[in-house]
Amino acid sequence: MKAIRTGATPSTLEALEYVDIDDAKAPGPGEIMVALKASSLNYHDYAVVRGMIPTPQGRIPMSDGAGEVTAVGDGVTEFSVGDSVVSTFFPEWLDGAPLSSAFTGVPGDGIDGYAREHVTASAASFTRAPTGFSHAEAATLTCAGVTAWRALFVDYSLKPGDTVLVQGTGGVSIFALPLAKA
């Protein structure tokens, strides 16, 4: 299968390589295989490929991915073949304050990301894509959408009547607008 990998260390945009890699392995217990259909580019991904976030040479970048489940391992009950899914940015952070250990599992820097055709990963690495979203739309939720939601409702606890200043026109700002208005 095809993938994009970082080249020389420290990485540069010019050193990205489009390569053949081994096919994704069959899912084991608790894992799913996903045919990736879309990924979204965030500043995080730019920082990885520019070497601002250190990664090993050959890292597959892109922290956000969306696609279709093609195989399900034993014990997985929340997904079925054919489900549309979107990746999670912190697969190991389930609740509470983020632990520093959660950062080691961030796709695209701590582990290989989604700039490839297929991936086999823990079922916790994905969640169902919203109904009616294309794969391209769903792929934008992972980093930018959740960052905006967390800033407004976890870090701040936005309430009706609060005033919100949204600065810029990047992904986080664009998601913050409808979330704040709702």
Average pLDDT (127-132) is: 96
Could you give the 3-state DSSP secondary structure of residue 37?
A: strand
Do the Cβ atoms of 67 and 37 come closer than 8 Å? yes
pLDDT exceeds cutoff 80 at 29 = yes
Residues 66, 94, single domain; the answer is yes
Host domain of residue 84: 2-135
pLDDT exceeds cutoff 90 at 98 = no
Residues 107, 34, single domain; the answer is yes
Residues 114, 148, single domain; the answer is no
Instruction: Choose between 171 and 102: higher pLDDT.
Output: 171
Residues 84, 151, single domain; the answer is no
Q: How far apart are the first and last CA of the chain?
A: 42
Residues 70, 95, single domain; the answer is yes
Q: How confident is the model at residue 178 (pLDDT cuts 50, 70, 90)?
A: very high
Give the pLDDT confidence of 35-68 residue by residue, as tens digits: 999 999 999 999 999 889 888 889 999 999 999 9
pLDDT of residue 79: 98
User: What single string gives the DSSP state of each residue in 99-165?
Assistant: PGGGGGG-BTTTB--S-BSEEEEEGGGEEEPPTT--HHHHHTIIIIIHHHHIIIIIIS---TT----
Residues 92, 131, single domain; the answer is yes
Total number of domains in the chain: 2
Residues 60, 89, single domain; the answer is yes
pLDDT exceeds cutoff 80 at 32 = yes
Report residue 38: phi and psi, to 5°: -155, 155
pLDDT of residue 10: 65
Residues 87, 129, single domain; the answer is yes
pLDDT exceeds cutoff 90 at 107 = yes
Q: Among the listed ranges 5-19, 24-38, 47-61, 146-160, which one has the minimum average pLDDT value?
A: 5-19
pTM above 0.75, yes or no: yes
Average pLDDT (80-90) is: 95
Residues 167, 112, single domain; the answer is no
Last residue of one domain, picked from the residues 116, 135, 154: 135
CATH number for 16: 3.90.180.10
Instruction: Choose between 141 and 66: higher pLDDT.
Output: 66
